[in-house]
Amino acid sequence: MCDVCGCAHADVHVHVAGEILHTETGRQVEVGRALLQQNDREAEHNRAHFDAAGVLVVNLMSSPGSGKTSLLEATIQAVHRKLRIAVIEGDLETENDARRIRGAGAQAVQITTGSACHLDAGMVHAALHTLALREIDVLFIENVGNLVCPASFDLGQHRNVVLLSVTEGDDKPEKYPVMFRAADLLVISKTDLTAAVGDFQVLRALRHFRHLANPSPVLEISARKGDGMAAWIEWLVEEHARRRPAGMKQANE
């Protein structure tokens, strides 16, 4: 039982009555379960909270410095009156990003993980209970900047958005297949710097991305200049409409 909200979803009882084989030297108990079963259950529990409130939850992942927080700041300003945004910020240290989000005009909760390299469903659960979910349309979870670890942990999100900035190199999908395979949307960020960088080719990045058999859409965005923001907002509005149960009110209704 979840001791914060009292729901039964997060029951972490582990079913262990597997088949037992007696071998010469001992017993072998069949388990056959996902290793991260407990995290997965907690993630489902989070998703149940989000679904009940009609909130679209987007897990934002990238390497450090790809422009996640800048994209969020620009998004909050762009959807003002259209969608109510909140952000759960994951960083090893500091409240800096949460402060930036609040400065842009949205609710923000900062999770500082200490030295942990990723967010897990339990951390998100603790954070979600500090938010008024029914007053939110889209909740972003800005994961710890890292292209490896966050990919393995379900947080209860509906969509994964992965950023790849033009300053990083267009072969990142080939180097980090697990992360880029998980993307439901790939954002090529900082496109205003493409000319200055010189050797980043969007088509090459796209080819590496498709080589992971990922059919997800790809958007090119400059949060600083506003290029590509309209398509990104459109994607968010559509995804949110898909999540909102019939009859539930939106910000400007």
Partner 1 sequence: MHELAICQAILQQAAAVARVHGGHVKRINLRIGPLAGVEPDALRFTFPLVAAGTVCENAALAIETPAVRVECQICGAVTQVRPNRLLCGGCGAWRVALLAGDEMRIESVELFETETANV
As measured in angstroms, the least distance from the Cβ of 210 to partner 1 is 5
| Helix or strand run (H / E) with residue 174 | helix 172-175
As measured in angstroms, the least distance from the Cβ of 82 to partner 1 is 34
Which residue type does 106 have?
A
Burial of 73 (0-12, 13-18, 19+ CB in 10 A): buried
Which lies closer to partner 1 via its Cβ, residue 51 or residue 171?
171
Which lies closer to partner 1 via its Cβ, residue 25 or residue 252?
25
As measured in angstroms, the least distance from the Cβ of 96 to partner 1 is 23
**Residues facing residue 186 across a β-bridge:** 162, 218
Which lies closer to partner 1 via its Cβ, residue 13 or residue 81?
13
Q: How many CB atoms lie within 10 A of CB 251?
A: 14
State whether residue 221 is helix, strand or coil: coil
Which lies closer to partner 1 via its Cβ, residue 36 or residue 218?
36
As measured in angstroms, the least distance from the Cβ of 54 to partner 1 is 31
Dihedral sign computed on CA atoms, order 128, 35, 145, 209? negative
CA dihedral defined by 230, 193, 202, 146, rounded to 10 degrees? -90
Which lies closer to partner 1 via its Cβ, residue 28 or residue 201?
28
- Both tokens of 57, joined, read 């939850």
Query: For the packed helices 37-52 and 121-128, what is the interaxial angle rounded to 10 degrees?
Result: 30
Residues at the site binding partner 1, with contacts judged by CB under 8 A: 14, 16-18, 20, 23, 25-39, 116-118, 120, 148-149, 151-153, 173-175, 177-179, 181, 210-213, 215
As measured in angstroms, the least distance from the Cβ of 187 to partner 1 is 20
As measured in angstroms, the least distance from the Cβ of 26 to partner 1 is 5
Distances (CA, A) of 106 to 6, 72, 82, 100, 123: 28, 10, 13, 9, 20
Which lies closer to partner 1 via its Cβ, residue 159 or residue 172?
172
